[in-house]
Every structure is written in structure tokens, then in C-alpha cells.
């Protein structure tokens, strides 16, 4: 059965990729058909704006609310409180407020609009290669097939899980976000307030955002209290002061409720940064010692200062998904998910990446989770449904995990609970959105039919 499934992938994948549908233009004729950019065929659950320059999650969540609250509170502050305070105190108050406000907005937008570190999905031929190695690794009586593999990082055993949606073994610290339907490197959490995942590439923006927002809310709160106090000293007491400046009360209320959560969140993330952890790992307790064995975080540098520098000031890798690159004009969509799922992709086999020799050298975990629903449920033709799930659930294999977690609506992660999210599952079959990576180096593209001339029985998906 395994062999059968494996072989089924090739013709099917080849079948779809060989069908040249509408884009049957030779290279030169760009005039009659606009060349599409890769973001237009991106398989994940993301939105793109400005021709691929800006991206965010599919559900913008409460991002408009976040922006609105910040603008309204700051606007009220500058309009109603600042004039009084400038008269009584100093002109630096609106200056400081302005600087903080600008910083908050910019970091918020950067968090929302930056690629968090999405890993592009494996191309069909890669997926096929992995499967072949899985098939080769197990014996005939080897049932059920493993779906994880264990590696050693700094003498710590780390389990790598196979992602059925993205058709690859997730690198360490990578997790699949169910809302965005992408594997994200160093996945922290999906933040509905920001409308995007927080991962390797935008964590520092997120951290800067919440820290500057805590400063801003504290600052506004302090200034409003000062304003009301000064005003009430002057004339007729606090009631008159409130009547004179009702906006201040609104600001007080907003700031008061925000401060608790924002300050708490900042504190929590400061702890995470100092110990080089992600929210995901912290909530799941990946490195806590209660697992029975002596385990510590293998990624930490055991020095708070170093950890902070690494997390906040380390190099930002560029986006791996190349949103603005052009698709070759003769491309038929290449999808990993839809191609390889139509045959019952029952081979939930995890295996080593390498050859058999590698297999022996690595400890294979034969965690069997064959009871899970087959294939990639995320991409199975599921109608959209809402799921409440915690961050930790997104880490588990992408077959429909049980919807647990907070029943809260869209609370931004309170300190003790993970982010509760509303997820909409997207039926993947409606989008054969391929994400084509240029699979051949420049030379071959200059002579485009290089792989096109491939015989279809080669077991590859030629770049059509």
C-alpha cells in the first residue's frame, strides 16, 4: 500500500503540472498576458497589498480596533489634555507623547505587515523524495509509520515533526499556524490584535510595539491624572474638573484597562526574551523539568544580556517566500498540498531526511499517531469553521486538533493563558494556489525549456 501511494503521487502531480492551462505563452510574449507575481499564487492564508510589498494574516483580527484605540486615545490626549499641560507644565509633554505615539504606530504596522518568517512549502519533488526515504527506511512489517524524528541539539533531544500541509519536517522552533496556514519559523504566537503571526522576523517589532505601548499608555495615564488633579485644585473640585474635560475620563478608562494587560504582556515577553524562549515553548512547557528528564532550553546562551541581544538585535533573515518575484509565464500551478492529497496520502510517515546510513545514526522516534485523520486535514476540503484554539495546539500535527483552549472571544493573551484565537479553516481545494519557487538556477531559466523537456515519467514536476 505504501508503494502504491507513493507512486500515485508522481503521475498525479505530474498530471496537474503538465496541463498547461491558460499560461501557454513562450517566454518572450509578455505583452498579451501580464506576468504574475508569486504572491498571487501563495498557498497560505495571507493577504497581500501594494503588489506584494505588504503582507498580513487573512483575518486582520482586531487590528483596526487596536489602531483605532491608539489613535483615539492619543488624539483625545493631544487635543484636550496637552493644551492645559503645556500651559501649566512644559511643552515637552506633547513632544514626548508624539514621539511615543509615532514609535508605537510604526512598530505596530511593521509587526502587522512583515513576513513573520514563513517557510515556503516543499515542492512536489522534494515531498516525493522525503517519502521515498520514508519508504526505504521502514521495513515491510513496520507499522504504523513514524511521523517525527529526533535530533540532538546541544546534547538535547529535540523532536522534529512532519508538517502535512507544508510537506516537510519542520525545523526546530518552527510551528504551523492554523490561522495563516503557514509554517512560521521561531513561532511565538498568532496575535489577533496585530492581525499577523509573531515569528522570527517580526518578534522584535512586536516587542518594541508592546514596550512602547506600555510607555505610551502609562505616560498618557500619568498626564491625565496630573491634568485632572491640577484642574481640580484650581477651581471647584474634581467634579467641575471632570465636567470641563470629559475626554480625560474616557482616556483614563481606556488607559486604566489597557495598562494591566499591556504591562503584563511586556513583562512576560521581557522574561521570554531574556531566556530565549517563545510563547509557544513556554506554554507547552517544552523545556521545563517537569517532563521527568533533565531538560533545559537548548537555544539559550545562559546569559541574559546575550539572549536579549540575540533575540532583539540579531540579524533578520530575509523573507523566504519571495513575494514579488515573477512566475515564469509557462507555469502551471505547482502545489504540494492539493496534488499530493488527492491520492489518499495516508503515508503519515516520518522519517529521516537522509539515507539509510543516516537513519541508523539518528534516533528515530516511532511515535505513532496513525489514528489521526489522514493526509492534511487542513487542506482537505473542509468548509470553513471557526475554531478556538490555543497557541500550543497549533504546534501539534495539523490534523484537526481538538478545539480546546480559551473560550474567550479574542482576548489578547492574558498572562496565564495562551492567545485564544478564532481560526477559520480554509478549504484548500478551492485554491490550487501554487507557490512556485524557481527551481532551477539562472542558467536554466535563460533557456527555459530546460526542465520542460523532461519526460513525464521521470518522477519530477517539471517547471512548466
Within residues 109-138, the interface with another protein by CB under 8 A covers 110, 115, 119-120, 122-123, 125-126, 129-130
- Radius of gyration of the chain from Cα atoms? 26
CB distance 406 to 417 below 8 Å = yes
Q: Any contact of residue 454 with another protein (CB under 8 A)?
A: yes
Task: Kindly tell me which of 400 and 433 has the beta carbon lying closer to another protein.
Answer: 433
Q: 191, 223, 255, 419: which one is catalytic?
A: 191
Out of 25, 54, 230, 316, name the contact with another protein by CB under 8 A.
316
Give me the count of residues in the chain: 464
Stretch that binds another protein, among 58-66, 75-83, 283-291, 314-322 (CB under 8 A): 314-322
Distance between CA 184 and CA 279 in Å, rounded? 13
Q: Any contact of residue 444 with another protein (CB under 8 A)?
A: yes
Q: Any contact of residue 154 with another protein (CB under 8 A)?
A: yes
Q: Any contact of residue 25 with another protein (CB under 8 A)?
A: no
- Please choose, from the candidates 434, 464, 438, the residue with its C-alpha nearest in 3D space to the C-alpha of residue 451: 464
Stretch that binds another protein, among 139-147, 152-160, 188-196, 411-419 (CB under 8 A): 152-160
Q: Can you spell out the DSSP letters for 215-261?
A: HHHHHHHHHHHHHHHHHHHHTT-HHHHHHH-HHHHHHHHHHHHHHHH
Q: Any contact of residue 282 with another protein (CB under 8 A)?
A: no
Nearest-approach distance from CB 202 to another protein, in angstroms? 10
Contacts with another protein: how many residues (CB under 8 A)? 77
Nearest-approach distance from CB 400 to another protein, in angstroms? 25
Distance between CA 185 and CA 175 in Å, rounded? 7
Q: Any contact of residue 353 with another protein (CB under 8 A)?
A: yes
Stretch that binds another protein, among 254-262, 283-291, 409-417, 433-441 (CB under 8 A): 433-441
Q: Any contact of residue 147 with another protein (CB under 8 A)?
A: no
Task: Kindly tell me which of 234 and 314 has the beta carbon lying closer to another protein.
Answer: 314
What 3-state DSSP class applies to 136?
helix
Out of 11, 172, 264, 456, name the contact with another protein by CB under 8 A.
172
Q: Any contact of residue 7 with another protein (CB under 8 A)?
A: no
Out of 312, 363, 386, 409, name the contact with another protein by CB under 8 A.
312
Q: Any contact of residue 106 with another protein (CB under 8 A)?
A: yes
Q: Any contact of residue 324 with another protein (CB under 8 A)?
A: yes
Nearest-approach distance from CB 88 to another protein, in angstroms? 30
Kindly report whether the peptide bond that precedes residue 405 is cis, defined as omega within 30 degrees of 0: no
Distance between CA 138 and CA 370 in Å, rounded? 15
Task: Kindly tell me which of 155 and 294 has the beta carbon lying closer to another protein.
Answer: 155
Q: How many whole angstroms from its chain centre is CA 406?
A: 20
Q: Any contact of residue 354 with another protein (CB under 8 A)?
A: yes
Q: Any contact of residue 162 with another protein (CB under 8 A)?
A: no
Residue bearing cell 521495513: 139
- Please choose, from the candidates 381, 399, 383, 396, the residue with its C-alpha nearest in 3D space to the C-alpha of residue 338: 381
Out of 268, 388, 445, 456, name the contact with another protein by CB under 8 A.
445
Q: Is 177 assigned a catalytic role?
A: no
Burial 127-152 (b: 16+ CB within 10 A, else e): bbebbebbbebbeeeeebbbbbbbbe
Q: Which three cell numbers mark 380?
A: 482537505
Task: Kindly tell me which of 81 and 331 has the beta carbon lying closer to another protein.
Answer: 331
Q: Restricting to residues 197-256, which ones interact with another protein according to CB under 8 A?
A: 204-205, 208
CA distances from 146 to 37, 162, 352, 369 (A): 37, 9, 10, 8
Q: Any contact of residue 363 with another protein (CB under 8 A)?
A: no
- 3-state helix, strand, coil split of the chain in percent (to 5) is 45, 10, 45
Nearest-approach distance from CB 58 to another protein, in angstroms? 20
Q: Any contact of residue 14 with another protein (CB under 8 A)?
A: no
- Please choose, from the candidates 165, 215, 187, the residue with its C-alpha nearest in 3D space to the C-alpha of residue 44: 165
Q: Any contact of residue 1 with another protein (CB under 8 A)?
A: no
CA distances from 327 to 42, 104, 181, 437 (A): 11, 36, 22, 8
Which amino acids are annotated catalytic? 191
Amino acid at each position: 500500500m505504501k508503494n502504491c501511494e507513493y507512486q500515485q503521487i508522481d503521475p498525479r502531480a505530474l498530471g496537474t503540472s503538465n496541463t498547461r492551462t491558460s499560461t501557454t505563452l513562450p517566454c518572450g510574449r509578455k505583452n498579451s498576458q501580464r506576468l504574475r507575481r508569486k504572491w498571487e499564487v501563495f498557498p497560505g492564508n495571507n493577504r497581500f497589498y501594494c503588489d506584494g510589498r505588504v503582507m498580513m494574516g487573512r483575518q486582520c483580527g482586531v487590528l483596526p480596533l487596536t489602531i483605532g484605540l491608539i489613535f483615539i486615545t492619543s488624539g483625545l490626549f493631544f487635543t484636550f489634555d496637552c493644551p492645559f499641560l503645556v500651559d501649566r507644565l512644559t511643552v515637552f509633554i506633547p513632544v514626548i507623547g508624539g514621539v511615543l505615539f509615532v514609535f508605537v504606530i510604526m512598530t505596530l504596522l511593521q509587526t502587522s505587515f512583515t513576513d513573520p518568517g514563513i517557510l515556503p512549502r516543499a515542492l512536489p519533488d522534494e515531498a516525493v523524495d522525503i517519502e521515498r526515504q520514508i519508504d526505504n527506511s521502514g521495513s515491510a512489517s513496520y507499522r504504523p509509520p513514524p511521523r517525527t524524528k529526533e535530533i540532538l541539539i546541544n546534547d538535547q533531544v529535540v523532536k522534529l515533526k512532519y508538517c502535512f500541509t507544508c510537506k516537510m519536517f519542520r525545523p526546530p522552533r518552527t510551528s504551523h499556524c492554523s490561522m495563516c496556514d503557514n509554517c512560521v519559523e521561531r513561532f511565538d504566537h498568532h496575535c489577533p490584535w496585530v492581525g499577523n503571526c509573531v515569528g522570527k522576523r517580526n518578534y522584535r517589532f512586536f516587542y518594541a510595539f508592546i514596550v512602547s505601548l506600555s510607555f505610551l499608555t502609562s505616560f498618557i495615564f500619568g498626564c491625565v491624572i496630573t491634568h485632572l488633579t491640577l484642574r481640580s485644585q484650581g477651581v471647584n473640585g474634581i467634579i467641575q474638573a471632570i465636567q470641563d474635560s470629559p475626554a480625560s475620563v474616557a482616556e483614563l478608562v481606556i488607559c486604566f484597562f489597557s495598562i494591566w494587560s499591556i504591562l503584563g504582556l511586556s513583562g512576560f515577553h521581557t522574561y521570554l526574551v531574556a531566556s530565549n524562549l517563545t510563547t509557544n515553548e513556554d506554554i507547552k512547557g517544552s523545556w521545563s523539568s517537569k517532563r521527568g528528564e533533565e531538560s533545559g532550553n537548548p537555544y539559550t546562551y545562559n546569559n541574559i544580556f546575550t539572549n536579549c541581544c540575540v533575540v532583539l538585535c540579531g540579524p533578520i533573515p530575509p523573507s523566504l517566500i519571495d513575494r514579488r518575484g515573477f512566475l515564469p509565464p509557462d507555469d502551471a500551478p505547482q502545489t504540494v498540498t492539493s496534488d499530493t492529497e488527492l491520492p489518499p496520502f495516508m503515508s503519515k510517515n516520518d522519517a529521516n531526511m537522509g539515507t539509510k546510513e543516516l537513519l541508523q545514526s539518528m534516533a528515530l522516534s516511532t511515535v505513532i499517531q496513525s489514528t489521526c485523520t489522514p493526509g492534511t486535514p487542513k487542506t482537505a476540503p473542509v468548509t470553513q469553521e471557526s475554531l478556538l484554539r490555543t497557541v500550543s495546539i497549533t504546534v501539534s500535527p495539523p490534523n484537526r486538533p481538538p478545539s480546546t483552549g480559551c473560550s474567550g472571544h479574542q482576548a489578547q493573551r492574558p498572562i496565564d493563558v495562551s492567545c485564544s484565537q478564532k481560526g477559520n479553516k480554509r478549504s484548500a481545494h478551492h485554491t490550487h494556489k501554487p507557490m512556485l519557487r524557481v527551481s532551477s538556477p539562472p542558467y536554466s531559466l535563460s533557456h527555459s525549456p530546460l526542465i520542460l523537456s523532461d519526460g513525464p515519467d521521470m518522477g519530477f514536476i517539471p517547471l512548466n
